Amino acid sequence: MRDLTKKCACGRPAILLRRYEGRYYCDHCLSKQIEKSFKKTTGKNHLIKKNDKICIALSGGKDSSSLLYLFWKVFRQRRDLKIFALIIDEGIGNYRKECIKEAEKLCKKLGIKLYKTSFKKELGITIDKVAKKTSKTCTYCGVFKRYLLNKKARELGATKLAVAHNLDDEAQAIIMNVIRCDLKRFERLGPIPGVIRDKKFVPRIKPLRQIHEKELYLYAATNSLPFCSKECPYSHDNVRRDVRKLINDLEEKYPGTKIQIVKFYDAIIKKLAIQKKGKLGHCKKCGEPTNQEICKACELLERLKNTKKD
Ligand code: FES
Ligand code: ZN
């Protein structure tokens, strides 16, 4: 990626060519661009309000570490805001343990309080155990994680839950929902996903949804953020893997594809005005917010109890 013969507009050696702009960037100017995008997404979509208590969903990876750092850098002077981080150990061998160490280092460096919890402690299950019963590990993991992030963030008094979805994630999610014709999930994408009118639901915000995954990696690396680059051993969601490859190939051939997919989504949602209309009820078993009688997490936990092996 680094071509030392190429220079940024400022004269420093370039580390990245933004093909959709036809411009080279050095580490310094790229960081400035990323910070600008973060500010633009939070400002334009009113993601942060006065006196917000922002819980950052940390995983220890490059995206959420960059997210935490950006919040610290951009908002640390704001006395009215409270920023803290939350990490969840899913129970996947040593994978998350190593990421937690990096997350601890980063939070210590920035002076941000880090809260930790685990599937084992909260749900009495680990993903390693789930994997013994079903091949749909990522589905279970995703549902449990969303469930716990919301519950814990709320218990910690958060008014916003910031998640590190980047431009690549967002474009993939849009196309995946098109392929699956899942209008319900499709509606819930966007900078503030989900149904927000419920006192038990902490609105989730996505300030990185306009930033390329590759650029976040460079941002984390050039700002010397501690982060873990290991991949989850269970990440073999076939549809997502295929969609990722498809979009990456298109981006290679037609630079700017990812940005256009997300822009197109935002335009449709605005036109249809379908976002954030619904109301939530509460799960009959655990009391957490859901639009069903029983929430998805309780349903999956029950299914696991009754499953010997897929
Ligand atoms: Fe949950 Fe990989 S992080 S299955
Ligand atoms: Zn429930």
The residue-averaged pLDDT of 278-300 equals: 90
| pLDDT over threshold 80, residue 291 | yes
127 lines ligand 1 (CB under 6 A): yes
Mutation choice for ligand 1 from 138, 149, 241, CB with most ligand atoms inside 8 A: 138
- Of the two residues 276 and 202, the one the predictor is more confident about is 202
131 lines ligand 1 (CB under 6 A): no
State the Cα angle at 220 between 79 and 52, rounded to 5°.
25
| pLDDT over threshold 80, residue 106 | yes
* pLDDT reported for residue 196: 59
Strand-pairing partners, residue 290, are 281
CB 209 within 8 A of CB 166: yes
**CB 68: neighbour CB atoms within 10 A?**
26
307 lines ligand 1 (CB under 6 A): no
* pLDDT reported for residue 300: 96
Q: For residue 25, give every residue at least 6 positions away whose Cβ sits within 8 Å of its Cβ, in sequence order, or none.
A: 8, 14, 15, 16, 17, 18, 33
Residue 134's closest CA among 258, 256, 309?
A: 309
Which residue has its alpha carbon closest to ligand 1 atom 4?
Answer: 138
Alpha-carbon span 7 to 10, nearest angstrom: 8
Tens digit of each residue's pLDDT (9 = 90 or more) over 52-79:
999 999 999 999 999 999 999 999 999 9
Confidence (pTM): 0.92
The amino acid present at 127, given as its one-letter code, is I
The residue-averaged pLDDT of 178-207 equals: 82
CA-CA-CA-CA torsion for 28, 30, 34, 35, nearest 10 degrees? 20
Alpha-carbon span 163 to 54, nearest angstrom: 10
Alpha-carbon span 303 to 143, nearest angstrom: 13
- Of the two residues 110 and 182, the one the predictor is more confident about is 110
Percent of the chain with pLDDT over 70: 94
| pLDDT over threshold 60, residue 18 | yes
The amino acid present at 177, given as its one-letter code, is N
* pLDDT reported for residue 3: 56
**CA 56 / ligand 1 centre spacing (Å):** 18
Mutation choice for ligand 1 from 135, 141, 146, CB with most ligand atoms inside 8 A: 141
- Residue 127: pLDDT band with limits 50, 70, 90: very high
Q: Which atom of ligand 1 is nearest to the CA of 95?
A: 3
Alpha-carbon span 73 to 220, nearest angstrom: 13
**CA 302 / ligand 2 centre spacing (Å):** 10
* pLDDT reported for residue 131: 93
Tens digit of each residue's pLDDT (9 = 90 or more) over 237-257:
678 889 999 999 999 999 999
The length of the chain in residues reads: 310
Tens digit of each residue's pLDDT (9 = 90 or more) over 19-44:
999 999 999 999 999 999 999 999 99
**CA 300 / ligand 1 centre spacing (Å):** 15
What's the 3-state SS for the chain?
CCCCCCECCCCCECCEEECCCCEEECHHHHHHHHHHHHHHHHHHCCCCCCCCEEEEEECCCHHHHHHHHHHHHHHCCCCCCEEEEEEEECCCCCHHHHHHHHHHHHHHHHCCCEEEEEHHHHHCCCHHHHHHHCCCHHHHHHHHHHHHHHHHHHHCCCCEEECCCCHHHHHHHHHHHHHHCCHHHHHCCCCCCCCCCCCCCCCEECCCCCCCHHHHHHHHHHCCCCCCCCCCCCCCCHHHHHHHHHHHHHHHHCCCHHHHHHHHHHHHHHHHCCCCCCCCEECCCCCCEECCCCCHHHHHHHHHHCCCCC
Ligand nearest to the CA of 284: 2
Alpha-carbon span 164 to 7, nearest angstrom: 30
Q: What are the structure tokens assigned to 49, written together?
A: 């309000």
- Of the two residues 3 and 225, the one the predictor is more confident about is 225
Q: Which of 116-125, 178-187, 214-223 has the lowest mean pLDDT?
A: 178-187
| pLDDT over threshold 80, residue 269 | yes
**CA 283 / ligand 2 centre spacing (Å):** 5
Which residue has its alpha carbon closest to ligand 1 atom 3?
Answer: 232
Per-residue b/e over 104-130, b at no fewer than 16 CB within 10 Å?
bebbeebebebbebbbeeebebbbbeb
User: What's the CATH number of domain 38-305, 3.40.50.620, 3.30.70.2740, 3.90.1150.10, 3.30.1330.40?
Assistant: 3.40.50.620
| pLDDT over threshold 60, residue 275 | no
59 lines ligand 1 (CB under 6 A): no
The chain-wide mean pLDDT, for the chain, equals: 92
* pLDDT reported for residue 270: 78
